[in-house]
Amino acid sequence: MNVPYNNGKVKIGQFYQRPQPVYDVDKDMALLQTAMIGDIKAHKKEKLHNVLYVGVLVFALFGAILFGGN
């Protein structure tokens, strides 16, 4: 049934098609995704390093302000 609702004047959803499922990822799909997105693990690792770096800088600055001012 292609027409889910017909109110007499307008056929709502007449051209609706269910999305086709993607069953498996082949080597070409994985290669294209890696080329477009990049290595996700490397991005997560870099983000963690950046967060830790900023945290250490904030901690050091806070320590310098708190304990460095005589």
- Between 25 and 54, where is the model more confident? 54
**In whole angstroms, how far apart are CA 59 and each of 36, 37, 51, 64?**
36, 33, 12, 9
The pair of three-digit structure tokens given for residue 27, joined into one six-digit string: 């080597």
Domain ranges of the chain: 39-70
> pLDDT band at 57, cuts 50/70/90?
very high
> pLDDT band at 58, cuts 50/70/90?
very high
pLDDT tens digits, residue range 5-17? 778 888 888 888 8
Mean pLDDT of 48-57: 96
The pLDDT value given to residue 69 = 61
Are the CB atoms for 2 and 16 separated by under 8 Å? yes
